[in-house]
Amino acid sequence: MNLFNIIDEIENVDPEFQDRISPRRAAIKNITSFGSKVAVAALPFAFSTLFKKAYGQTSGTAVNDVLNFALTLEYLEAEYYATGVSTAGLIPAGAGATALAQIAKDEANHVAFLKSVLGSAAVSKPTFDFTAKNTFPDVFSNYQTFLKVALAFEDTGVRAYKGQAGNLKGNKVVLTAALNIHSVEARHASHLRQMVAANVSGASALKPWIAYTANGNDTGIAAVNPVYAGEQNTTQANVNVTGFMGASGNISQSAAAEAFDEPLTKDAVLAIAGLFIV
Amino acid sequence: MENLTKAEEIVSHDNSDFLTANVQRRSFIKYAGAATAAVALIAAGCKKSHDGNNGAEAYLGRGDTGILNYAYALEQLEAAFYTQAVASFGGDSSWTVAEKALITDIRDHEIAHREFFKTALGTNAIGSLEVNFDSINFNSKANVLATAKAFEDLGVSAYNGAGYLIENGDYLTLAGKIVSVEARHAAYIRDLISNGSFAGADVVNPTTGLDTSRSPQEVLGIAGAYIKTKINANDLPS
């Protein structure tokens, strides 16, 4: 067991690991003397204590659970776009095809990134049925359907990562990486909303953000209601946002709902993703 | 000594209390030799100016209060920017009806964020910041969009980079609720400038697919060009 190698490795992914272990960098710099004073047999224990101290309440198992949950969603998205962009005749050439290729690449990168972080703890890819048991039978033959389902995936992804943030609290490496994926999903969702508005019949009013509707679902696609459940919320931290002064008069109900995206619980996300998993 | 000079500046700007200021200044010099004592005194001096009516500096504070004030400062900047942008639509005839509607939405979102933080912070909230938009031509759609892009991408990187500093899980989730809306704005603005640039390689790493995160110091260094009020972020967690 080479402690110094391990610390070097950790520092590769977490440059501030030493500070994390001890606010006084000197303490860890003196690890040689620390080691010499502690019986070799006690080292693993001492080291795991250092880890717990470094990463606070987020135990390795809890972090891996979040990462594997994220990986499952990224598998879903990555395979969906990979299939879409390689299906002849589905996506018209032009800006849309370029954008979808970009999104496909980002999602494939997310899968590779999460797998590299999880290593042997990574879950394997499920088998997907993107028709969701025939709910979307033409998902890979009708461009409009393809965009609608893509948007549902992106808006779900945004909510899923948000819902897990609390489980990664204080974890500089993993929480920051998760947030850096979360905002990319939101960028995708914003662009896909514009694509849906431009290409899907009856959806021209769709905004890049989730507008207020009574049930939260502003897409007009009833089959994806669970993806948007709760997005109509206008109360944050027990304060009704419509009570604030806006540019003229109070903040509108729509602006209040749009200004805050809502999280989804892991169970709610798995229920949605489960529709597409065989 | 840099801190001492800063403290002197703060004190000497406090014209309303000129005599006391001079006494304090002498105290600083007297104790400057003893490092710890001097630091304590400087801290005390700063504290005084934050609590007073001296509008020279906005002190963000410590812990979650500091981070929330940091977010509040950025939301103030964005809200002020979009308020002026919307008021200046008439200066450039190339704005379309749809663009004007969506950018007005963004203004309202930023105002909602600003007011939310102000309310959440209560008496701990920093005051209203004085902005400096001299470098922005609000009568140019291209210039407004370029600035909007810079602010939105900066905002996304700010929330992404500060998330791990938040101790309270509810605040963390709230920051998450806001950052994805900022990312939606960023993507929309980027697409207006160049369709398809919503997740361009300048913000999303083309190898990992990860967005950008920045430390509060980096963010304030960039945002500072647009803020006249001096922001004191010295006690933010790191």
Q: What is the pLDDT of residues A53-98, one digit of tens each?
A: 444 445 678 899 999 999 999 999 999 999 999 999 999 999 999 9
Domain membership of residue A256 (yes or no) is: no
Average pLDDT, chain A: 86
CB contact under 8 A, A175 and B178: no
> Domain check: are A66 and A13 in the same one?
no
The answer on pLDDT for A231 being more than 70 is yes
Q: Give the closest residue to B75 by CA, choosing from A188, A142, A241.
A: A241
> Domain check: are A163 and A267 in the same one?
yes
The answer on pLDDT for A137 being more than 50 is yes
> Domain check: are A30 and A67 in the same one?
no
Mutation pick from B180, B195, B198, B205 vs chain A, by most beta carbons of A within 10 Å, is B180
pLDDT tens string B223-234: 999 999 999 999
Chain A residue at shortest CA distance from B199: A187
Query: Which of A11, A40, A55 is where one domain is finished?
Result: A55
Query: Which of A55, A77, A95 is where one domain is finished?
Result: A55
d(CA A241, CA A259): 9
Chain A residue at shortest CA distance from B161: A176
Query: Which of A55, A75, A94 is where one domain is finished?
Result: A55
Q: Is A164 helix (H, G, I), strand (E, B) or coil?
A: helix
Q: Which of A180, A252, A258 sits opposite B213 (nearest CB)?
A: A180
> Domain check: are A134 and A269 in the same one?
yes
pLDDT of residue B55: 57
The answer on pLDDT for A42 being more than 80 is no
Domain membership of residue A154 (yes or no) is: yes
The answer on pLDDT for A164 being more than 50 is yes
- Kindly state whether A176 is in contact with chain B, defined as any CB-CB distance less than 8 angstroms: yes
Domain of residue A137: give its range.
60-209+261-274
**Sign of the four-CA dihedral A99, A104, A105, A106:** positive
> Domain check: are A179 and A147 in the same one?
yes
Domain membership of residue A252 (yes or no) is: no
Domain membership of residue A244 (yes or no) is: no
Q: How many contacts does A have with B, using Cβ atoms within 8 A?
A: 199
Domain membership of residue A240 (yes or no) is: no
Q: Is A151 helix (H, G, I), strand (E, B) or coil?
A: helix
Chain B residue at shortest CA distance from A55: B164
d(CA A155, CA A263): 10
Query: What DSSP state is assigned to residue B205?
Result: -
pLDDT of residue B56: 74
CB contact under 8 A, A109 and B209: yes
- Angle, alpha carbons A12-A17-A18 (nearest 5°): 120
pLDDT of residue A14: 54
pLDDT of residue B52: 40
d(CA B186, CA A187): 7
> Domain check: are A71 and A198 in the same one?
yes
Q: Which residues of A touch B180 (CB under 8 A)?
A: 158, 162, 182-183, 185-186, 261
> Domain check: are A26 and A110 in the same one?
no
Structure tokens at B146: 């370029």
d(CA A119, CA A121): 5
d(CA A168, CA A55): 9
Give the pLDDT band (50/70/90) at residue A13. Answer: low
**Could you tell me which residues come within 8 angstroms of residue B91 by beta carbon, excluding any fewer than 6 positions away?**
B138, B139, B140
pLDDT of residue A60: 75
Find tokens 């060009």 and name the residue.
Answer: B225
d(CA A262, CA A230): 7
Q: Which residues of B touch A263 (CB under 8 A)?
A: 173, 176-177
d(CA A3, CA A31): 9
> Domain check: are A32 and A123 in the same one?
no
Complex-level ipTM: 0.81
> Domain check: are A48 and A162 in the same one?
no
For residue A192, give the CATH number of its domain.
1.20.1260.10
- Please list, residue by residue across B219-234, b when 16 or more beta carbons sit within 10 angstroms of its beta carbon and e when fewer do: bbeebeebbebbbbbe
Q: Which of A181, A209, A252 sits opposite B210 (nearest CB)?
A: A181
d(CA A256, CA A240): 8
- Kindly state whether A154 is in contact with chain B, defined as any CB-CB distance less than 8 angstroms: no
Mutation pick from B152, B166, B184 vs chain A, by most beta carbons of A within 10 Å, is B184
Q: Which of B111, B187, B211 sits opposite A208 (nearest CB)?
A: B187
> Domain check: are A28 and A145 in the same one?
no
pLDDT tens string B135-185: 999 999 999 999 999 999 999 999 999 999 999 999 999 999 999 999 999
pLDDT tens string B174-193: 999 999 999 999 999 999 99
Domain membership of residue A194 (yes or no) is: yes
> Domain check: are A199 and A72 in the same one?
yes
> Domain check: are A43 and A174 in the same one?
no
CB contact under 8 A, B164 and A176: yes
- Kindly state whether A99 is in contact with chain B, defined as any CB-CB distance less than 8 angstroms: yes
Between positions 16 and 75 of B, the ones with CB within 8 A of A are none
Structure tokens at A197: 């508005």
Domain membership of residue A164 (yes or no) is: yes
The answer on pLDDT for A51 being more than 50 is no
pLDDT of residue A158: 98
Q: How many domains does chain A have?
A: 2
Angle between helices A60-85 and A266-274 (to 10 degrees): 30
Q: Which residues of A touch B187 (CB under 8 A)?
A: 186-188, 190-191, 208
What proportion of chain B, given as a percentage, has pLDDT over 90?
A: 76
Cα dist from B185 to B95, B148, B218, whole Å: 17, 9, 21
The answer on pLDDT for A26 being more than 70 is no
Q: At B170, which amino acid appears?
A: D
Region for residue A8 given its phi and psi (left: phi exceeds 0; alpha: psi -120 to 50; beta: otherwise) = alpha
Domain membership of residue A234 (yes or no) is: no
